[in-house]
C-alpha cells in the first residue's frame, strides 16, 4: 500500500511539472480570412520623450545619426517590426493640436504648452511634414488623429486637402510653398480621441452627431478619395458607447470604430513596472485577457447594425500601464518593459489574430519611451524591449491567412483565482509556411501542449522562444540584450500531432513546413 501511494505521489508530481494542454489546428483547403497587417500598428503621441528625444532629435544633432532629425537607429529598428501604420499626434494631445502651427519655417512656428502631459512647452519643430516624411522613411502608413474638441470642421478638412490633394487649391498651394510637391495620400483619419474623456467629456449621442458633421466634410459624396474614417470609440466595457455610434452613424460615413483598453491593475494604484509581485502580475494578465470578452461583446453590437462587416473594430490604444519610473516626470509616462509586458503582447496579439474578422487595425501604446514601448532611448543609447521582440516574432502573421486553432488550456492559479495558462493563434503565409504563436502565462510552471493537425501534412518544425529567468527581468542600457529571442527546440512533430513544451512565462513562435 505504501509503495502504491509512493508511486501515485511521484506520478502526480511528474504530471504537475508539465501540465497537459490540448489543441486542434484546422487547415482548411480554402481559408477565407486574412489577418490584416494593420493589427500590428503603433502609436506616437506628443507625450514625454516619445517625439522629442525619441523619434526626433533635431536636424542639427551631430551626436546621434539622423535623417532630417529622425533617429536612424529607430528607423532601422521599426523596419524590423514591419510596422504597418503609425498613429500621430495623439492621444489626448490630438484634441489640443492645431496642425497649421506645425508647418512652414521652423523658426517661425508658434510654441504650444502640452497641458495634458507634463505642462512642457513645445516648439512645434516636429509637424505634419516631419511626421509624414518619417512615415515614408519607415515604409509605414500614417494614421492622423484629428482635432475635434478644440478645432473646427474647416481646420480638419483643410488638413485633408493639404496632405492629399494633388490639384490646385489653397491648401495644396500652401503645401507646395512649404516644399512638398506631391501629396502624401493619407488614408487613415481619426475624428477626435476619447471623446468620452479628455476629448471633450461628451455624451455618445452628442459625439455621434458631431462625428457625422466632421465625416461629411472630410470627403465627397462617395468618399472617392478612399479615406478610412475612424470614430472615437468606447473605453473598455462601455458597450452603450458602441451601441449609440453604430445605431446613429450612417455606414457611408464611417469605416472604423475605435476601442481603448489598458492592462492596468488599478487606476489609482497601478503598481511598479519592475518590482511587481505575482499577484500584481496575475491581475495584469487578467486585464489583458479581458480583451477577448471586450472584442466579443463590442463585435456582437457591431454585428447587429453592420451584419455585412463593413465597419472595422480598431483597437487603437492597448498595452500595460504602471507607475512611472522613480525620479521621472509623472506626466511623461516612462516605464520599464519586462517579461510581463512580453506576456501582455503575446496574449493580446493572439486575441487580435483570432478575431481578425472584425478587428482590422490596432495600435500598441506606445512606440518609444512611453507606456509599453518597443524602444527606449537615453541620449545616443537605444534598447529594444521584450515587447519589441514579441512583435518582431509575430510579424509572420501580417497579411497571412488565419487558421483556426482551438486550445483547451490548463489553469494558471494564484490564490482563489485562475486563468487559462496557454493561448495561441495560427496562420499560413503566402509561401505556404504555417506559423503558430503560443504563450504560457504561468509564472512558475511549464506547460506541455499536444496539438492535433487536420488538413495538412508537415515534415519539420522550427521555432524561436522569448523567456528569461525572472518575470521581472528587462533590458537595460547597461545590459541591452539580456532578453532576446532564442532558437526553440521544445517542439516535435509525430504524424499529425505536434508536441510543444512551453517554459514558464514564455512566448513561442513555430514555423511548420
Which positions are annotated as active-site residues? 194, 317
DSSP E strands, 27-84:
41-43, 66-67, 70-71
HSE at residue 506, side-chain half, CA atoms within 13 A, is 26
Model's pTM, two decimal places?
Answer: 0.94
Other beta carbons within 10 angstroms of residue 297's beta carbon come to: 14
Percentage of the chain surpassing pLDDT 70?
Answer: 96
Mean pLDDT score of the chain:
95
Q: How far is CA 156 from CA 43, 109, 144, 261, 476, in A?
A: 20, 19, 10, 26, 41
Helix, strand, coil proportions of the chain in percent (round to 5)?
A: 30, 30, 40
* Lowest mean pLDDT across 10-24, 68-82, 346-360: 10-24
| Confidence tier at 340 by pLDDT (50, 70, 90) | very high
Cell representation of residue 448:
506541455
- Quote the CA–CA distance of 58 and 133 in Å, as a whole number: 14
Q: How far is CA 302 from CA 32, 55, 134, 186, 257, in A?
A: 20, 36, 35, 26, 9
364-406 residue pLDDT tens: 999 999 999 999 999 999 999 999 999 999 999 999 999 999 9
- Quote the CA–CA distance of 347 and 364 in Å, as a whole number: 13
256-267 residue pLDDT tens: 999 999 999 999
* Whether pLDDT at 5 is above 60: no
* Whether pLDDT at 13 is above 70: no
Contact of 324 with 47, CB cutoff 8 Å: no
* Whether pLDDT at 14 is above 60: no
Nearest alpha-carbon partner for 461 in 440, 434, 423: 434
Under DSSP, is residue 358 helix (H, G, I), strand (E, B) or coil?
Answer: coil
Evaluated on CA atoms 306, 307, 310, 316, the torsion sign reads positive
pLDDT of 61 reads: 96
* Whether pLDDT at 76 is above 60: yes
Residues in the chain: 513
- Quote the CA–CA distance of 27 and 512 in Å, as a whole number: 12
Which helix H or strand E contains 74, and what residues bound it?
helix 72-81
- The angle that helices 170-177 and 153-164 make with each other, rounded to 10 degrees, is 60
* Whether pLDDT at 297 is above 80: yes
Percentage of the chain surpassing pLDDT 90?
Answer: 95
Q: What secondary structure letter does DSSP report for 370?
A: S
176-189 residue pLDDT tens: 999 999 999 999 99
Give the residue ranges of DSSP H helices in 106-149. Answer: 128-138
- Quote the CA–CA distance of 101 and 130 in Å, as a whole number: 13
| Confidence tier at 19 by pLDDT (50, 70, 90) | low
45-60 residue pLDDT tens: 999 999 999 999 999 9
End-to-end CA distance of the chain: 50
**Average pLDDT, stretch 70-79?**
98
* Whether pLDDT at 208 is above 50: yes
pLDDT of 161 reads: 98
* 429 phi and psi angles, rounded to 5 deg: -85, 180
pLDDT of 475 reads: 98
- Quote the CA–CA distance of 48 and 454 in Å, as a whole number: 49
* Whether pLDDT at 6 is above 50: no
**Average pLDDT, stretch 106-114?**
96
- The angle that helices 128-138 and 153-164 make with each other, rounded to 10 degrees, is 50
pLDDT of 155 reads: 98
* CB under 8 A, 24+ apart: contacts of 113-119: 114/46, 114/47, 116/47, 116/90, 116/91, 116/92, 116/198, 116/331, 117/45, 117/46, 117/47, 117/48, 117/92, 117/93, 117/331, 117/332, 117/333, 118/48, 118/329, 118/330, 118/331, 118/332, 119/331
**Average pLDDT, stretch 143-167?**
98
Amino acid at each position: 500500500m505504501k509503495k502504491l501511494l509512493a508511486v501515485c505521489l511521484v506520478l502526480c508530481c511528474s504530471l504537475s511539472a508539465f501540465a497537459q494542454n490540448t489543441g486542434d489546428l484546422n487547415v482548411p483547403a480554402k481559408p477565407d480570412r486574412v489577418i490584416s497587417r494593420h493589427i500590428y500598428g503603433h502609436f506616437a503621441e506628443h507625450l514625454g520623450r516619445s517625439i522629442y528625444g525619441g523619434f526626433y532629435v533635431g536636424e542639427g544633432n551631430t551626436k546621434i545619426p539622423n535623417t532630417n532629425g529622425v533617429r536612424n537607429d529607430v528607423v532601422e529598428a521599426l523596419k524590423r517590426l514591419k510596422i504597418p501604420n503609425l498613429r500621430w499626434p495623439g492621444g489626448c494631445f490630438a484634441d489640443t493640436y492645431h496642425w497649421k502651427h506645425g508647418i512652414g519655417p521652423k523658426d517661425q512656428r508658434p510654441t504650444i504648452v502640452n497641458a495634458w502631459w507634463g505642462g512642457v512647452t513645445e516648439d512645434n519643430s516636429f509637424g505634419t511634414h516631419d511626421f509624414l516624411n518619417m512615415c515614408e522613411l519607415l515604409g509605414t502608413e500614417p494614421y492622423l488623429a484629428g482635432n475635434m474638441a478644440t478645432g473646427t470642421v474647416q481646420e480638419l478638412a483643410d488638413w485633408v486637402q493639404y496632405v492629399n490633394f494633388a490639384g490646385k487649391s489653397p491648401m495644396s498651394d500652401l503645401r507646395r510653398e512649404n516644399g512638398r510637391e506631391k501629396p502624401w495620400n493619407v488614408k487613415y483619419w481619426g475624428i477626435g480621441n476619447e471623446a468620452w474623456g479628455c476629448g471633450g467629456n461628451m455624451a455618445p449621442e452628442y459625439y455621434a452627431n458631431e462625428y457625422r458633421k466632421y465625416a461629411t466634410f472630410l470627403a465627397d459624396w462617395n468618399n472617392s478619395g478612399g479615406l478610412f474614417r475612424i470614430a472615437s470609440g468606447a473605453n473598455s466595457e462601455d458597450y452603450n458607447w458602441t451601441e449609440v455610434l453604430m445605431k446613429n452613424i450612417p455606414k457611408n460615413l464611417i469605416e472604423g470604430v475605435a476601442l481603448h483598453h489598458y492592462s492596468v491593475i488599478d487606476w489609482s494604484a497601478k503598481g511598479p513596472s519592475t518590482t511587481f509581485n505575482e499577484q500584481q502580475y496575475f491581475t495584469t494578465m487578467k486585464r489583458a485577457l479581458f480583451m477577448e470578452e471586450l472584442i466579443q461583446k463590442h463585435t456582437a453590437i457591431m454585428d447587429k447594425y453592420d451584419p455585412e462587416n463593413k465597419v472595422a473594430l480598431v483597437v487603437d490604444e492597448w498595452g500595460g500601464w504602471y507607475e512611472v519610473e522613480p525620479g521621472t516626470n509623472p506626466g511623461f509616462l516612462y516605464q520599464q518593459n519586462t517579461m510581463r509586458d512580453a506576456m501582455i503582447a503575446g496574449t493580446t496579439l493572439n486575441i487580435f489574430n483570432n478575431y481578425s474578422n472584425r478587428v482590422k487595425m490596432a495600435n500598441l501604446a506606445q512606440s518609444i519611451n512611453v507606456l509599453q514601448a518597443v524602444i527606449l532611448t537615453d541620449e545616443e543609447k537605444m534598447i529594444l524591449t521584450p515587447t519589441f521582440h514579441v512583435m518582431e516574432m509575430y510579424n509572420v502573421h501580417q497579411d497571412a491567412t488565419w487558421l483556426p486553432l482551438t486550445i483547451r488550456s490548463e489553469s494558471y492559479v494564484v490564490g482563489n483565482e485562475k486563468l487559462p495558462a496557454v493561448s495561441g493563434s495560427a496562420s499560413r503565409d503566402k509561401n505556404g509556411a504555417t506559423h503558430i504563436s503560443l504563450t504560457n502565462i504561468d509564472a512558475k510552471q511549464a506547460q506541455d501542449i499536444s496539438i492535433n493537425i487536420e488538413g495538412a501534412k508537415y515534415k519539420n518544425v522550427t521555432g524561436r522562444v522569448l523567456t528569461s529567468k525572472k518575470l521581472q527581468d528587462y533590458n537595460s542600457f547597461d545590459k541591452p540584450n539580456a532578453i532576446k529571442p532564442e532558437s526553440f527546440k521544445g517542439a516535435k512533430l509525430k504524424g499529425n500531432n505536434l508536441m510543444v513544451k512551453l517554459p514558464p512565462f514564455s512566448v513561442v513562435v513555430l514555423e511548420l513546413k
